[in-house]
Every structure is written in C-alpha cells, then in structure tokens.
Structure 1
Amino acid sequence: MPVPAPVLHPPFNIVRLSHVDLHVTDLAWSRAYYVDMLGLQVTHEGNGSLYLRAMEERGHHSVVLRQADVPSVGVLGFKLFEEEDLDRAAHWFAAKGLPIAWTERPFTGRVLSTRDPWGVPLEFYARMDRLPPIHQKYALYKGVKPLRIDHFNLFSSNVDAAVAFYGEMGFRVTEYTEDAETGRLWAAWTHRKGGVHDIAFTNGTGPRLHHLAFWVPTPLNIIDLLDLMSTTGYLANIERGPGRHGISNAFFLYIRDQDGHRTEIYCSDYQTVDPDLEPIRWDLKDPQRQTLWGAPAPRSWFELGSVFQGAALQDSDLKATPIIAP
C-alpha cells in the first residue's frame, strides 16, 4: 500500500508527544534506575507515583511511574495547541465510534481520554503546570543527561492501518520500511513536532509499546552511560547498541528496566518541518535500514514489548522478517 498523503489541516492540532504512564512492580528500584542512573528529575512523589521530567522540559512531567502488581503502560499523552482543540478532538474520536471521557489528572488542565482502534490508551491536553527552567542548572545534570522526551515506538499488527489512522490526526510520515513482496508497510515513522518521529509503528504482535526515547546532547553521553551501567549493576539492562540507525540517522542505545520497559537513548536525527518533505523509503531487506553501523538487533528487540492496560493483543498477518542477530 502506498504511504497516504499528509493531512496538513487536521481536525485538531497536536503539538507533540508529551508523556507516558509506566506501571512498575518496584517503585524504589525504578526510582534508582530512571532518576539516579538515567538522570531524570523528580517533580513530585507520593501515593505510589513518581513524576519525572528531563532537563529541557518545562511541563511538569514526561514520565509517570506508578507502583503496580504487574508491569504495563497506562497511557500515552499528547499536547494540543489550544483548549478548543480538546473539544474538536472529542468530537472527532466520538464520530469514529471510539470511547471518550474527561479525566482528572494532577498537574494538568482538562484531559481527554480515549483509545485508538486497536485499544491503545491515549490522552490529550492543552495545559500542564509549567515549572521553572533547569537547563542551565548544570549541577543537576547526571547519568546520560536526558534533555527531552523524543518519541514513542509501538508494535502494530497492521502498520498500514495505523499510519492511515494517525495520519488523519496530522501525523506525517518521514521514513518507512516496505516489504517488497507484498507492498505493505513493515514500519513507519511519523511526526508532529518537526523531528523524525513523535510516534512510530513497527510490525508485530500489538498493540504494545516497543520503546520510549529520550534525546541526549551527544553520542559521548551514551558512551558515558554505558560505562556507568556496566559498573553499577545495570550491565544486564543493556539490550542493543551503541550504533547508528539508517532510518533517522540517529545515534542510539536501547536499555530495558527490570519490568521490561524499553528506553532508547537517542541523538542526531534531522529536521522535518517542511510540509512537502518527501518520505524516505527503505526496503525491509536492506541491512543498513535498522543499523547503518553496529551489531544487528537481537531477537528480543523484535519480540519483546510492554502491554497497554485494557488492550487485547493481535498477531500481525505480515510475516516478513528483517535481519535478526543470532
């Protein structure tokens, strides 16, 4: 299937991805991992929850960790341009026959809760509490020095359908992987904020969260993190990398916490602001698609992901496979 034409005037205006709600089985362990080791900043703690932001973020939080009996993902959040966009979004999702509810969230104004057609829990807001800037408080920088949340990547049982649905909301495709035998999309990268992606979709059993990603200053920060993880008890949490993607041109590292939630540490992609920017096509069998240089991805990277609360899993019928490390 061809990549759909971009919708340049969507029914409501999504500015960017905003936050993720991760359910974890040991909040103290997760605090040590995400705060002490990675370097995210605590903005609120209490009632079994931990709110975190990165160094350049002015919104109250981009990650919420919640104590739970089993690991899962509670919601993916997106910021809208203005309050009126919330009502436009509610009308659009209701017209699609999808559930809508107005939800109370700490540190946030009106919140619209819904799900996409595959059950992924989504929420939208226009106003979140703003915090003082800390990007020049260099004494606070530690770990990998995370600057901002960059994107989500989801396993999808039908990437073509996911791209079409999110495309109606104004997400524009920057790069995609096509299976030459079927002509179907195996993966696609879509954005709102002018980077390579805010949300991407990868073929597989879904919906599941493949990873969230944080932008860091330089590749050297990733090397420093590897030294830190390998000498402080987190060696087994390193899954893949470092390396450079063909898609997005990003320098990367993938790590997984003890609950299996995967984080990509990420830098060096490119600007995609122009509305007439042509998507870049990659063939699924191109060995430099996923890894321009570095070791091929391990099998875990293609098979393991975090489940969404309340979403039923469905296998993909596209059985094409990329290059997988032994």
Structure 2
Amino acid sequence: MPLPKPNLYPEFNIVRLSHVELAVTDLARSRAFYVDTLGLQVTDETSDSIYLRALEERGHHCIVLKKAGAAEAHDLGFKLFSEEDLDKAEHFFNGKGLPVEWVERPYQSRTFRTRDPHGIPLEFYAEMERLPPIHQKYALYHGVKPLRIDHFNCFSPNVDESVAFYNELGFRVTEYTEDASSGKLWAAWTHRKGGVHDIAFTNGIGPRLHHVAFWVPTPLNIIDLLDLMATTGYLPNIERGPGRHGISNAFFLYVRDPDNHRIEIYCSDYQTVDPDLEPIKWDLKDPQRQTLWGAPAPKSWFEEGSAFAGVAARQPDLTASPIIAP
C-alpha cells in the first residue's frame, strides 16, 4: 500500500507529543528508578501519583506515575496549538464516531480523552502549567540527564491503517519499513515537532505501548547510565543496546522499569522540518534497519509491550517476521 501524501493542513494543529501516564504497582520502586536512576525531576507527589519532567521542559510534567493494582499504560498526551484547536479536535473525533470525554487533569487546561480507531487512548489539551526553567541548573543533572520526552512507539495490528489515520491528524512519515512480499507497512515513524518521530507504529499484537523515549545530550550519557544500572541492582533491566539505529540514525538504549514498562534512551537523530522531506524506505530483512551495526533485537523487543488499560489487543493482520537475535 503506498504511503499517503503528507497532510500539511490538518483540521486542527497538534504541536507535539506531551506526556504519558503509566500505572505502576509500587510508587517507591518506580520513584527510585525514574528519579534516582534516570534523573527525571519531581514536580508534584501525592500518596498515589508522581509527576515528573525532564530538564529542558517548561511544562509541569511529561510523565505521570499512578499507583495501581496492575502495570498498564494509560493515556498518551498531545499538546495542541490553541484552545480553538481543542474545539476543532473535538469536532474531528466526533465526526469519526470516536468517543470524546472531557476530563479534569491537574495542571492542564481543558482536556479531552478519545481513542484512535485501534483503541489507543489519547488525551489532548492546549495549555499546561509552566514552571521556571531548570536547564541551566546543572546541580540537578544526574542519572542519564534526560532533557525531554521524545516519542512514543506503539504496537499496531495494522500499521497501514494507523499511518492513514495519523496522517489525517497532520503527522508526516519520516521513515518506514515495508514487507517486500506483501507491499504492506511493517513499521512507520511519524512526527509533528520536526524530529524523526513523535509516535511510531510497529507491527504486532496491539494496540499496546511498545516504549516511551527520552532524549539525552550525548551517547556518553547512555554509557554512564549503563555503568550506573549495572552496579546498582538494575542489570536485569537492561534489555537492548547500546547501539545506533539504522532507522533514525539515533544512538539508543532500551531498559525496563520495575513494572516492565519499556523506556528508550535516545539521542542524535536528525531534523525533519521541511514539509517536502521524502520518507526513507527500509526493507524488513535489511540487517542494518534495526541497528546500523547489524545487531538484531531480541525476541522480547518484538513480543512484549504494556497493555493499554481497558483495551483488548488483537493479533496483527500482517504475519511477516523481522530478523530476530538468536
């Protein structure tokens, strides 16, 4: 199936991804991982929630950890350009027959929840409480020195359908993997903010959250994190990497939090601002697609993900298989 042409004038303006809420089973363990080990900053803390931001971010939070009985993923949050865009977005989703529920969210202006056609829970708002800048308060920098949330990656049961829907929202494809035998998409990377992706889709049992990624200054920060995790009890939490992706050219590391949510640490991808930028095509069997240096990902990377609360996942329509590490 051919890629849809970029929609440069969507019905409403999504600025970027904003935040994610993760259900965790032990707040103290999660705090030790996200704050003491990764280095995210606490902006609020209650008996059942921890709000975190990264060091370059001015918005109140990029991740919310919510205590729950089971580890799940909740809403993926996106910031809109204006309050007017919020009303336009409500009209768009209503017109698609998708649910719109206005909700109260701490530190956010008017916010509504909806779902994409596969069931991924989405949250839209226009304004979040601003905090003073801390990017030059270098005494706060520790762990992997996370600067900002960078992207989401989700398992999709039909990547072609996911790309077509998010294209309507104005997301543009930067890179994609095609199954040569069927001509169908196996994965796609789409953006709003001018990086390689705000949200990507990987063929698999879905919808499920594959990972949340944080941008860090340099590959050396990733090496420092590996040394820290390897000597503080987190060795089993290191899943994949370090390495350099063929897709996106980014230096990466994948780790698991105490509830097995997957976190990517990510840096050095490239700018994608030009509206006529041509997407880069990869073949599913190209050994440099996953890792430029040729090392394939482990089986867990293709099979395991965080369930979205209340959403039934299904088998993918495409049965093609990538190269998997033995």
* TM exceeding 0.5: yes
Whether the aligned pair in 1 keeps the contact of 2:33 and 2:258 (CA below 8 Å) is no
Match of 2:233 in 1: 233
Match of 1:114 in 2: 114
1:242 CA displacement: 0.2
TM-score (norm 2): 0.99
> 3-state DSSP class of the match of 2:175?
strand
Whether the aligned pair in 2 keeps the contact of 1:179 and 1:284 (CA below 8 Å) is yes
TM-superposition CA deviations, 1:83-129 (whole Å, max 9, x none):
00000000000000000011100001000111111111100000000
> 3-state DSSP class of the match of 1:288?
helix
Whether the aligned pair in 2 keeps the contact of 1:296 and 1:324 (CA below 8 Å) is yes
TM-score (norm 1): 0.99
Match of 1:16 in 2: 16
What is the CA–CA distance in structure 1 between the aligned matches of 2:198 and 2:114, rounded to whole Å?
Answer: 18
Match of 1:179 in 2: 179
What is the CA–CA distance in structure 2 between the aligned matches of 1:127 and 1:252, rounded to whole Å?
Answer: 31
Counterpart residue type for residue 159 of structure 1: V
What is the CA–CA distance in structure 2 between the aligned matches of 1:111 and 1:293, rounded to whole Å?
Answer: 43
Match of 1:188 in 2: 188
Structural mapping, 1:85-124, within 5 Å: 85-124=85-124
1:51 CA displacement: 0.1
CA RMSD of aligned residues (A): 0.6
> 3-state DSSP class of the match of 2:289?
coil
Match of 1:70 in 2: 70
What is the CA–CA distance in structure 2 between the aligned matches of 1:299 and 1:23, rounded to whole Å?
Answer: 24
What is the CA–CA distance in structure 2 between the aligned matches of 1:91 and 1:113, rounded to whole Å?
Answer: 13
Whether the aligned pair in 2 keeps the contact of 1:108 and 1:129 (CA below 8 Å) is yes
What is the CA–CA distance in structure 1 between the aligned matches of 2:25 and 2:295, rounded to whole Å?
Answer: 31
What is the CA–CA distance in structure 2 between the aligned matches of 1:28 and 1:308, rounded to whole Å?
Answer: 22
Counterpart residue type for residue 251 of structure 1: F
Match of 1:281 in 2: 281
What is the CA–CA distance in structure 2 between the aligned matches of 1:297 and 1:239, rounded to whole Å?
Answer: 9
Counterpart residue type for residue 298 of structure 1: P
Whether the aligned pair in 2 keeps the contact of 1:159 and 1:203 (CA below 8 Å) is yes
Whether the aligned pair in 2 keeps the contact of 1:76 and 1:121 (CA below 8 Å) is yes
> 3-state DSSP class of the match of 1:11?
coil
Counterpart residue type for residue 147 of structure 2: L
Structural mapping, 1:1-326, within 5 Å: 1-293=1-293, 295-326=295-326
> 3-state DSSP class of the match of 1:119?
coil
What is the CA–CA distance in structure 1 between the aligned matches of 2:93 and 2:47, rounded to whole Å?
Answer: 32
Runs of 4 or more off by more than 4 Å in structure 1?
Answer: none
Question: Which of 114-123 and 193-202 deviates more?
Answer: 114-123
1:258 CA displacement: 2.1
What is the CA–CA distance in structure 1 between the aligned matches of 2:47 and 2:295, rounded to whole Å?
Answer: 42
> 3-state DSSP class of the match of 2:290?
coil
Whether the aligned pair in 2 keeps the contact of 1:25 and 1:67 (CA below 8 Å) is yes
What is the CA–CA distance in structure 2 between the aligned matches of 1:189 and 1:207, rounded to whole Å?
Answer: 16
Counterpart residue type for residue 112 of structure 1: F
TM-superposition CA deviations, 1:204-255 (whole Å, max 9, x none):
0000000000000000000000000000000000000000000000000000
1:317 CA displacement: 2.1
1:33 CA displacement: 0.2
5+ long unaligned stretches in structure 1: none
TM-superposition CA deviations, 1:188-217 (whole Å, max 9, x none):
000000000000000000000000000000
What is the CA–CA distance in structure 1 between the aligned matches of 2:202 and 2:185, rounded to whole Å?
Answer: 9
1:295 CA displacement: 3.0
Identity of matched residues, %: 77
TM-superposition CA deviations, 1:50-74 (whole Å, max 9, x none):
0000000000000000000000011
What is the CA–CA distance in structure 1 between the aligned matches of 2:34 and 2:171, rounded to whole Å?
Answer: 29
What is the CA–CA distance in structure 1 between the aligned matches of 2:184 and 2:230, rounded to whole Å?
Answer: 40
What is the CA–CA distance in structure 2 between the aligned matches of 1:258 and 1:2, rounded to whole Å?
Answer: 40
What is the CA–CA distance in structure 2 between the aligned matches of 1:293 and 1:221, rounded to whole Å?
Answer: 20
1:294 CA displacement: 5.8
Whether the aligned pair in 2 keeps the contact of 1:241 and 1:295 (CA below 8 Å) is no
Whether the aligned pair in 2 keeps the contact of 1:43 and 1:61 (CA below 8 Å) is yes
Whether the aligned pair in 1 keeps the contact of 2:149 and 2:215 (CA below 8 Å) is yes
What is the CA–CA distance in structure 2 between the aligned matches of 1:185 and 1:124, rounded to whole Å?
Answer: 27
1:47 CA displacement: 3.4
Q: 1:294 to 1:222 in 2, by over 3 A?
A: farther
